[in-house]
Amino acid sequence: MPSPWVLSAFWFGTAFLWLMLLTIYMPAHVVGFMGEGNKGTYLGLLNAIGAAIALVVPPLVGAHSDRTGRRLPYLRLGVGVNLAGLTVMGAAVALLAGSAGFWIYVLGFVLVQLGNNYATAPYSALIPQLVPPEQRGRYSGAMGTLQALGQLLGAAAGIAIGSHYGVSLPFVLMGLLLLGAAVVTLRGVVERAEQVAPTAPGQVMSWRELFAHAPFRWVFITRVLFALGQYSVQPFLQYYAGDVLRQKDPVMSSSLMLACIVVASIISAVLGGRLSDRIGRKPVIYFAGTVMTVMALLLLAAPSFAVALVLAFCFGLGFGAFTSVDWALGADAMPSKSSYARDMGIWHVAFVAPQFVNLPMGGLLDWGNRQGENFGYVLVFGSAALFFLLGVVLVRNVPESNRHGSAGQG
């Protein structure tokens, strides 16, 4: 069995990519292409396009991976397409302007989403496939830690680069980190025939049977709610720093807030995964969701940027704990060993389909701000807190598995 750090290395590169792209540079690029007046709407549209791709690709590619009995070839091809998309996006920012440049930028983003989702759907099956239930908390904790480290490095890069050193450097860094992390996993994980047997006809549960399986159904629903809370706020954090906190350099300021979130999440991710192997997954989720709910509301009333940084750190404690346990809870909920990649691909939809909320939230942000100064942020952050709270309440319905994988009420 591979090291948890090698197995999860690709998540490090993916986390670096998505934090830099979605949270730091894409909001700034949208303003550069389309102006301030409709920035929320166009950013929401861009993320909704990505969510549509992420909704369709993982289940289809995951099912194909189960039929072929392979995981790593999909990772190789997906990374190649992802890198091509970053190249197109970087060229659009460097060479074009206005709506024409924006739509070329969108084309590059589509390639990034296609490639990354093509890679991660089969890759997501490796933890439930290779790791026994009693060790999944430790492996999920390592995955959460590497994701947080990738995000921290992304935030640090955003602080260091800011709007300086040319528009191409962020895309070069994203490509290099993604490729390097993929190489570590590809070289360190060995696929064996007895580990990944091709799926025989008739072995795969139907989608109806899958969602009739109570652990999977409730894990999926609660994961959607937490993701809705995350994506209600995350894309607009940079705009919040400029409009609400009155920061002169929103890129730098939002990067500092993200760094606080990620540092805290590293601390709680290391502890959360191991703790969940001892006391169960759900108590950790209860703590995490409650903290995220409260912090989302308090950020609306932050009297200064310094206080906002403290609140961001506290939010990160909850987010890291949630991330460290979330993957283990999902792996425990998989009902069939014969279709891990297909089922994890469907579960992956719960991560990414909620990005659709960016479109209505972006419109809500612009509409609310036209009604009153920063009222749009009250609506958006309040919605995020409500989603987090619902996730905390409903996760109690998940029948948690014990250390040996048998079902039991938690």
Per residue in 132-191, pLDDT (tens digit) is 766 766 777 777 778 878 988 988 888 887 665 567 889 999 999 999 999 998 888 776
User: What's the structural domain count of the chain?
Assistant: 1
Q: How many other CB atoms sit within 10 Å of the CB of residue 243?
A: 18
Burial letters for 327-364: b for 16+ Cβ neighbours within 10 Å, e otherwise? bbbbbbbbbbebbbbbbbbbbbbbbbbbbbbbbbbbbb
Q: What percent of the chain has pLDDT over 90?
A: 26
pLDDT of residue 81: 97
In a domain, 352, yes or no: yes
pLDDT of residue 118: 92
C-alpha 351/C-alpha 45 separation (Å) is: 18
Tell me which residue of 257, 278, 307 sits closest to 136, measured CA to CA: 278
Burial of 231 (0-12, 13-18, 19+ CB in 10 A): buried
pLDDT class for 248, splitting at 50, 70, 90?
A: confident
In a domain, 409, yes or no: no
pLDDT class for 310, splitting at 50, 70, 90?
A: very high
In a domain, 82, yes or no: yes
pLDDT at 402 over 50: no
Q: CATH number of the domain that 122 lies in?
A: 1.20.1250.20
Determine the 3-state secondary structure of 196 from DSSP: coil
C-alpha 338/C-alpha 342 separation (Å) is: 9
Global confidence as pTM: 0.73
Is the distance from CB of 320 to CB of 357 less than 8 angstroms? no
In a domain, 49, yes or no: yes
In a domain, 402, yes or no: no
In a domain, 198, yes or no: no
In a domain, 403, yes or no: no
Residue ranges making up the domain that contains 312: 4-189+206-397
In a domain, 314, yes or no: yes
